[in-house]
Amino acid sequence: MAPKSTKVATIKDVAAKAQTGKTSISRYLNGESHLLSDNLRQRIEAAILELNYRPNQMARSLKHGRTGLIGLIIADIGNPFSVEVLKGVEAESIKQGFMTVVCNANNSIELECQFIQLLKGYRVDGLIINSAGVNEQFIDVLQSTTLPFVLLDRKIDNFPCDMVGLDNPASANMAFNHLIEQGFEAICFVTEPIVYNSAREERLQTFQQVLANNPQIKGIFHEISLPAPESLSAIITEFCANHRGMRKAIVAANGVLTLQIAYALNQQGLHWGADIGFLSFDNLEWASFAGQGITSISQPTALMGHKAVECLLEKLENPEKPPAQHLFNGELIVRNSTTL
Q: Give the homologous superfamily in CATH for domain 67-165+302-327.
A: Response regulator (3.40.50.2300)
Neighbours of 6 (CB within 10 A): 7
Neighbours of 274 (CB within 10 A): 12
Per the CB < 8 A criterion, the answer to whether 258 and 287 are in contact is yes
Residue 273's identity, in one-letter code, is G
pLDDT at 8: 80
pLDDT at 61: 52
How far is it, in rounded angstroms, from Cα 154 to Cα 106?
16
Q: How many angstroms from the chain centroid is the CA of residue 188?
A: 26
Picking from 333, 321, 308, the residue whose alpha carbon sits closest to that of residue 128 is 308
Q: If the chain, 340 residues long, is cut into consecutive pieces of 10 residues, what is the mean pLDDT of each piece?
A: 61 91 83 83 89 67 69 91 91 91 93 92 91 88 90 88 96 98 98 91 97 97 93 96 96 94 96 96 92 95 94 92 94 94
How far is it, in rounded angstroms, from Cα 20 to Cα 44?
8
Same-fold call for 67-165+302-327 versus 168-300+332-338:
yes
Domain ranges for the chain: 11-55, 67-165+302-327, 168-300+332-338
- What is the rounded end-to-end Cα distance, in angstroms, of the chain? 76
> Residue 227: is the preceding peptide bond cis (ω within 30°)?
yes
Per the CB < 8 A criterion, the answer to whether 192 and 253 are in contact is yes
Q: Is 91 helix (H, G, I), strand (E, B) or coil?
A: helix
Q: Which residues contact 126 (CB under 8 A, 6 or more apart)?
A: 70, 71, 147, 148, 149, 150, 312, 315, 316
Neighbours of 21 (CB within 10 A): 12
Largest CA distance in the chain: 87
Range list of H helices, the chain: 11-18, 22-29, 38-51, 57-64, 80-95, 109-121, 136-144, 168-181, 198-213, 229-242, 255-267, 301-317
pLDDT at 52: 86
pLDDT at 193: 92
How far is it, in rounded angstroms, from Cα 73 to Cα 51?
37
- In CATH terms, is domain 168-300+332-338 a member of 3.40.50.2300? yes
pLDDT at 6: 60
How far is it, in rounded angstroms, from Cα 102 to Cα 3?
35
Per the CB < 8 A criterion, the answer to whether 197 and 189 are in contact is no
pTM: 0.79
